[in-house]
Amino acid sequence: MSYTISPVVSDDVESVLKFLKRTFYLDEPILRAVDYCQTGNDDTHDLDEYCRHSLPGCSFQAKDEDGNLIGVLVCDRCPVVNPTDCLTALKDCKSPKYKTVIRMQIMREIIAEIWNQYPNDSELIEIKMAATDPKWRNKGVMNKLMGVIEKTARDLGVRLLRIETSSAFSAKSAESKGFKCIFSRPYTEFQFDGKPFIITEPPHLDDRIYIKELF
Ligand SMILES: CC(C)(COP(=O)(O)OP(=O)(O)OC[C@H]1O[C@@H](n2cnc3c(N)ncnc32)[C@H](O)[C@@H]1OP(=O)(O)O)[C@@H](O)C(=O)NCCC(=O)NCCS
């Protein structure tokens, strides 16, 4: 089973979005927890806009021998201090389910205070989404894409790589690639009025942020 990896360019944005809708949108643990969508045809305006805003960035895609997309890593250069992105997203968000996701992300940013952990870095490359076609999972596609974005970050002279892992499998990938876990919190501890508002399925029980310092 061979595949090739290439950068996502402007002409690829809609095909990558279509791929994310049938993979990430349905299977990412937080989106599943809020029951964001059930099929690739649901109204997902808010997340679609976020993806369009993030793509192509410095994202990479994997394609099989027939040219079908089998994996994507959505990546972009971001300032280290970036909570304003979430606040704007919350203000503009229409879907109550997606609002719940953004609220959790804002809590995470405020608790993690990444800007205090890396006061001398003004930017990083954030791996914003990772998705592999269900038929290709657990075959090393994400690990391969992680190696490619690391090389790209080095070539661009960006010192920090960041990934938030809602999936236990993306967390494994980050760990095997030498990332350091700088934030970890069980989803049950994200609470509103004393009640958890994100209930994920095992083994995806912890929200984590990983960083790799490249030089
Ligand atoms: C997370 C996801 C992108 C991983 O992609 P993948 O191509 O299957 O990942 P890989 O095959 O490179 O595996 C990465 C690591 O997870 C492990 N892993 C992957 N699937 C696994 C499974 N079903 N059971 C146990 N371990 C698994 C691999 O062994 C590997 O560990 P290692 O780095 O220690 O060798 C994929 O599961 C997916 O698309 N999930 C839905 C969307 C999502 O949750 N995205 C991540 C949000 S942060």
For 49-77, what is each residue's pLDDT tens digit? 999 999 999 999 999 999 999 999 999 99
What pLDDT is stored for residue 90 in this prediction?
81
pLDDT band at 38 (very low <50, low <70, confident <90, very high): confident
Tell me the domains of the chain and their CATH numbers: 3-213 (3.40.630.30)
Residue 19: the pLDDT is 97
Q: How confident is the model at residue 92 (pLDDT cuts 50, 70, 90)?
A: confident
pLDDT band, very low/low/confident/very high, at 83 (cuts 50, 70, 90): low
Q: In the 3-class helix/strand/coil scheme, how is the chain assigned residue by residue? A: CCEEEEECCHHHHHHHHHHHHHCHHHHCHHHHHCCCCCCCCCCCHHHHHHHHHHCCCCCEEEEECCCCEEEEEEEEEEECCCHHHHHHHHHHCCCHHHHHHHHHHHHHHHHHCHHHHCCCCCEEEEEEEEEECHHHCCCCHHHHHHHHHHHHHHHHCCCEEEEEECCHHHHHHHHHCCCEEEEEEEHHHCEECCEECCCCCCCCCEEEEEEEECC
In short, whether 134's Cβ falls inside 6 Å of ligand 1 is no
Q: Rounded to the nearest 5°, which phi and psi values hold at 102?
A: -65, -40
The confidence score (pLDDT) of residue 82 equals 64
Per-residue pLDDT tens over the stretch 5-26: 999 999 999 999 999 999 999 9
* CA nearest neighbour of 47 among 99, 109, 85: 99
The residue whose CB lies within 8 Å of the most ligand 1 atoms, and thus the one to mutate among 54, 173, 177, is 173
CA-angle at 118, arms to 192 and 50, nearest 5°: 55
Q: For residue 91, what pLDDT band results from cuts at 50, 70 and 90?
A: confident
Residues with Cβ within 8 Å of residue 163, at least 6 apart in sequence:
126, 127, 130, 170, 174, 179, 209, 210
The span from the CA of 201 to the CA of 207, in Å, is 12
Given a contact cutoff of 8 angstroms between Cβ atoms, the answer to whether 154 and 188 are in contact is no
Strands 123-132 and 206-213: unpaired
Q: Name the pTM for this structure.
A: 0.96
> pLDDT at residue 140 above 90?
yes
Question: What separation in Å is there between the alpha carbon of 119 and the centre of ligand 1?
Answer: 31
Q: What is the pLDDT of residues 175-204, one digit of tens each?
A: 999 999 999 999 999 999 999 999 999 999
Give percent above pLDDT 70 in the chain. Answer: 98
Q: Is the CB of 200 under 6 A from ligand 1?
A: no
